[in-house]
Chain A
Amino acid sequence: LSRSDDKNVAFVELLLPLQRSLEVYCRRMLRDPSHVEDVLQTAIMEAFVRFDRYAEGTNFRAWMFRFLTLEIFNRNRKREPAPFGDGLDDFPGPPAHDWPEDALSLVLENPGPLLEHFEDRVVEALWQLTTAERAVLLLRAVGEFSYHEIHTILAIPLGSVIGYLSRSRRKMRQALADYAAQRGLHRTEGPQP
């Protein structure tokens, strides 16, 4: 096999196991779902062209996700503000833990009704997050990346990774608690309808 053939083989072998996570991440991140295929295609070709610079044995998964993330940010640009241009890059303090405890604990006691449409509700809540929050949350959940890997992929400080992750989780929980309240799955303060 020629060197070029070896490159092709190596690239495809590294890429194939990532198909599921790349596609799920892309679908959850892209504002326009009709662009999924095109974005994946563009990101993969970008990575392939630069595959000579990839150091064998290093983290291909993170390397590939960086190409895809940049392409997604580029594609979402018309519909969302620049993900890290909002002055929020500084570490926003320790992760808050003031969750709506009552709502969540009651949901946990009786999760059945909530779980009935849980996935749809969670996916809906994702779109309430900023691009940066969504990217960090999904890189963690879908890509199963460590904080340090996310810091590398997004090229933002480690403290910002923690900050965005904390905020995204808080918002997701709040959305779920709101949903539980709408469905009467927990007590709410004040007069009941």
Chain B
Amino acid sequence: MNCTEARQHWMLFLDSEGDPELHLRIREHVGGCAACAGWFAAQRVIEGKITEAVSSGEPTPQLWQRVMARVPSPPSRPRRRRWLLPAAALSAAAALIALAVYLNGVRSAPTELSRNAADWHEQWQRGNVRPELESTSDHEVDRYLKARVPFRVHCPPRTDVQFSVQGAGVCFMKDQRQAAYIVGSVGKSPVTILVLDKSGIEGFPQGFHHRKEGTYQVASAVIAENVVIVVGTATPEVLERLLHAYGSYHEG
């Protein structure tokens, strides 16, 4: 494949569409051609900027209140520990469906938040849901989240407590507030990090907190402008180290 042929298919390549064989050939060419490597990187930047600009915007709570008011309301249900779509609705097309998460009872934090975070972690572990962005690059996850939430958020770098990121996404709470989640592992132990805007949560106590939710350990803390919750089967000490690592990451 030469430069012209490779560039002719840039769109399929960047969109991860088309024949895998084509991708392989383009990757081979770009790997050995500095000019094309730069050219493809430039396309990615431009498209990223355009995508970011056209897809920016937040839902208007008042508008949705009016719209949803006209949809026949579901009756109030007995309290259920669910803030995810039913697993069955996600399993067949999990890769295609945006992660649909909403939290119940945010104001009863931290208990409810810990429980919800543990539920989400379990669904992810069972393979019932997949993150919006699947990536092992902390930089990519960082950029992805920063572009999608209005509050401060970041991905802990790999060097901190051997955290390896696997993906991330954004979820909406019932009151329209956003939360960011990051999934990955510390060593071989899978963890979920949930990050929320502190100002959206009333009465979250200062300091570090531990809870046990079923088989999972949950550690949480108010860190700068965020409430950060870490869930996994690792020991509380490991999860707390990850929280410290999150807090010690300085943004420029």
Contact = CB atoms under 8 A, between A and B. Distances in A.
Interface of A: 1, 5, 8-21, 23-24, 27-28, 36-37, 40-41, 44-45, 48, 56-62, 94-95, 97, 104-105, 108, 111, 115, 118-119, 122-123, 126, 137-138, 140-142, 144, 146-147, 149, 162, 165-166, 169, 172-173, 176
A117 B250 CA distance: 28
Given A5-B75, A44-B67, A122-B53, A18 B92 contact: no
Interface stretch (B82-90, B115-123, B207-215, B224-232): B82-90
Contacts of B100: 13-14, 16-18
Nearest to B10: A97
Contact of B63 (A17, A40, A61): A40
B127 to A, nearest CB: 14
Contacts of B99: 17
B42 A122 contact: no
Given A23-B59, A108-B46, A147-B15, A37 B66 contact: yes
Interface of B: 7-12, 15, 17, 42, 45-47, 49-51, 53-60, 63-64, 66-68, 70-75, 77, 85-86, 88-93, 96-102, 132, 171-172, 174, 176
Contact of A61 (B70, B97, B174): B97
A17 B171 contact: yes
Contacts of A105: 42
B54 A137 contact: yes
B57 A173 contact: no
A58 to B, nearest CB: 6
